[in-house]
Amino acid sequence: MNFTMRRASILTSSVLSRTVAAASSTVHYRLLTTTTPTANSNAGRFWSSTASARAVAGALASIAAFASLSYQEVHAKEPLPADLVPKEVVLYQYEACPFCNKVKAFLDYYDIPYKVIEVNPLSKKEIKWSDYKKVPILMVDGEQLVDSSAIIDKLGDKIIPQKKADSNLDDNEEKKWRGWVDNHLVHVLSPNIYRNTSEALESFDYITSNGNFSFTEKITVKYAGAAAMYFVSKKLKKKYNITDERASLYEAAETWVDALNGREFLGGSKPNLADLAVFGVLRPIRYLKSGRDMVENTRIGEWYTRMENTVGETSRLKA
């Protein structure tokens, strides 16, 4: 079941339970008050049946209205006019890479269809053709774009030109927090994701179900990659003066919530590029142990859920 259907199903089921329970309670009460033998018992039974029908009808109406509302809420992304959508978009990525996920959050939000080519993080054979040896690499109608923030800037200039025309002081805040994502937030992620061997292996589980890799390659990448990143994370921890990984992650999450200052999104009623950047880099850790701990111990959970609902289903094309 996809994201939209799953969320709508959960929400609708919840309302269904409550409304049917309320209807049942009402009907049960009416039955109790009308089953006492009286001279007009037929009228009582008729009145009870009518009340039952009305209660059930009310429940169904509530369910239908709520399901409609839930559907609209989940589909709050911003699809582009057809003439602005690129014809072919291909993303060369690592599934767990925060920078790659930042680009995917942008593509998903604007409903831009894209293909994904999973790159072997050890051999990088899938990008041998490129002079740029990092990911993400985004090919847009034959043009190579590199570096996540530059990709979003260049693609954004092409597909949402009105953004420049609407430029205002809010852009300064957006730029500030996009810079914070690249210069601070991403640096606290690796020490958390690869904090110990079990969490490092958990983060590489994606490799077993992504990419056109052989069994041997998958096993090699999972264990060798996890081991390598475990040691890299220790170096990053020292480089950025991180003494407590989780404390640094929690502090970053709280810093972001403070920046929202009570708004639904940094962009106000809808996400801006900073919202998409924070959401994108957090998305690959959200359901790992580090991400679960973050949501349980900070206030970021409500904002993250709003972003999940707003960005909605992926626009990634199936292979």
Residue pair 266/260 in contact by the 8 Å Cβ criterion: yes
Q: Which among 248, 142, 131 is positioned nearest to 187, based on CA atoms?
A: 248
| Residue tagged active-site, from 3, 29, 71, 100 | 100
For residue 97, indicate whether it is catalytic: yes
Is-cis flag, bond preceding 37, omega within 30?
no
What is the residue type of 307? Answer: M
Tokens read off for 311: 């960005």
Contact 253, 242 (CB under 8 A): no
Beta-carbon contacts of residue 173 (< 8 Å; ≥ 6 apart)? 266, 274
- What is the distance of C-alpha 246 from the center of its chain? 21
Which is catalytic among the residues 66, 92, 99, 250? 99
User: Is 94 annotated as catalytic?
Assistant: yes
For the chain, the C-alpha Rg in angstroms (whole number) is 25
| Identified catalytic residue from 66, 97, 230, 304 | 97
Set 66, 92, 94, 265: catalytic member:
94
Distance of CA 261 to the CA centre of its chain: 21
Cα 294 → chain centroid: 15
End-to-end CA distance of the chain: 18
Which residues belong to the active site? Answer: 94, 97, 99-100
